[in-house]
Amino acid sequence: MANFSETPLMELVLRRYETPHDLSERDALKKICLSLGLLQPGDSRDVIVDILMVLERAKKDKREISAVEIKDELLEIRKENGLSLNGTADSNIRRQLKRLRDIFLVEKIKNNYRILEFMSLEQIFETKIKKIILDAVLTRNAEYFNYYTKYESDNKTEPTTIEELKAQSEDSF
């Protein structure tokens, strides 16, 4: 049996929610995070939403921002909104920034962060998430489905020993 890793090379979770209407800026960003699998439904640890909000606000001024500045601004946002300060540790903020980088929403330049090329989130979704991540995941999934068809046709499997190969050769004549 082939040795393979169960660690995914790339992962994408997509969720569909109701049509957006009457959402605050934070709630709209929260739905984006939920729909991309960056946040779990019902999760009270939603610091990633505030990180994205801070970066979106910095984007308006074409400003790159350090992790320390992100933390300071997100603490203000959370206090203004009466939200818990759970998940605001430096290590968690860096981890959430890495997750945002992994799906191309955020890029790191030296020790600063910004929304990818100061693009709109919609542009990033269309050009990076759909065209790069989603296409790559779907292509690989199709390869696995295609690969499996060899096991579906008459339930034949590839021979693994010389004896099985000889037996299969004799059966085909």
What DSSP assignment string belongs to 68-106?
A: HHHHHHHHHHHHHTT---TT-SHHHHHHHHHHHHHTTSE
User: Domain for residue 19, yes or no?
Assistant: no
For 139, half-sphere exposure in the C-beta direction (CA atoms, 13 angstrom radius) is: 9
Task: State the pLDDT at residue 104.
Answer: 95
Do 45 and 97 have their domain in common? yes
- Categorize the per-residue pLDDT at 8 as very low, low, confident or very high, splitting at 50, 70 and 90: confident
**Does one domain contain both 106 and 151?**
no
pLDDT band at 170 (very low <50, low <70, confident <90, very high): low
User: Domain for residue 74, yes or no?
Assistant: yes
Q: How far is residue 18's CA from residue 150's CA, in Å, rounded to a whole number?
A: 40
Q: Check residue 2 and give its pLDDT.
A: 60
Cβ atoms of 15 and 31 closer than 8 Å = no
Question: Residue 105 and residue 132: Cα distance in Å, rounded?
Answer: 12
Domain around 102: 25-119
* Domain-embedded: residue 9: no
- Residues 6+ positions from 107 with CB-CB distance below 8 Å: 101, 113, 114, 115, 116, 117
pLDDT over threshold 80, residue 155: no
**pTM for this model (two decimals):** 0.81
* CA-angle at 50, arms to 46 and 56, nearest 5°: 140
* Domain count across the chain: 2
- Answer yes or no: do 115 and 41 share one domain: yes
Residue 40 pLDDT: 92
Residue 153, pLDDT > 60, answer: yes
The answer to whether the beta carbons of residues 169 and 163 sit under 8 Å apart is no
